[in-house]
Structure 1
């Protein structure tokens, strides 16, 4: 692999790694996924340059591949529910840490599993149903586990 290609691969891995850590922490340790997706984005970028697209156009094409299937985030949705529905009880500073824990909860996962989650899910009417179900599910988890309210 040429030095420039290594730099680009590192660039795409870096972009994806940062995005994953912020929006899909459950995928942070999936090195095979991160590497494969970054490699795929690099190939798209290189092919786009080869056929004469500008750097910007090539990067846009690579980003489509890099972030495909990652626009909707379970983690972000849980954070949003915590911020909007539990703000009086859970400080925003703790919401992200709690969201990461809740993401692994079986009841939360079963709630998400009821829906066909895709990149455009948050714009669909079903999103409101999911949001409502998550709110109830989180309320039950807080009550059953006697989590302290602040």
Structure 2
């Protein structure tokens, strides 16, 4: 009888993080497995070298979240929540974002920028944010997407 292997702590931690910030990557099983294994190896090596468990955890987390600090998903949710709050009340931003991530116009906006881990703190972030806002306005208009008309909500 084959025993099912329990997912590792690092795999669960990564899957939770991806689910919240990179839902488009949830199906990339090889990435998740590789990254979780690398984190576990880092943790074990650190403990073997005499680091404390909390220190080893920090090192393993650095490996686990490498290149995953800037999220296109979070950026789109932020644009929708901040710029389209009246037209697209919650939970619409979270529901629309996966569709927007697949949209060619939105993808081409993201492709103009080098999205590094610290991109959110760069001056380029404001340009990206503004460009995404304009692109979403156009998508709503061109496609006649239903939005909530705030004037008729009395």
* Higher helix fraction (1 or 2): 1
Name the counterpart of 1:3: none
Of the candidates 98, 104, 125, which is equivalent to residue 106 of structure 1?
104
Q: 2-side partners of 1:78 and 1:92: how far apart?
A: 13
Structure 2 gap segments, 5+ residues each: 149-154
| Residue from 74, 80, 87 that aligns with 1:82 | 80
> Displaced runs of 4+ in structure 1, greater than 2 A?
none
Alignment of 1:73 with 2:71, yes or no, is yes
- Cα distance in 1 for partners of 2:89, 2:98 equals 15
Q: Which has the larger radius of gyration?
A: 2
Gaps (5+ residues) in structure 1? 1-5
Match of 1:124 in 2: 122
Q: What SS is found at the alignment partner of 1:29?
A: coil
Q: Deviations over 1:102-121 (max 9, x none)?
A: 01101111000000001100
Normalised by the size of structure 2, how large is the TM-score?
A: 0.91
Provide TM-score, normalisation by structure 1: 0.94
Give, in whole Å, the separation in 2 of the partners of 1:66 and 1:147: 38
Whole-angstrom CA distance in 1 between matches of 2:11 and 2:97: 25
Q: Number of paired residues?
A: 144
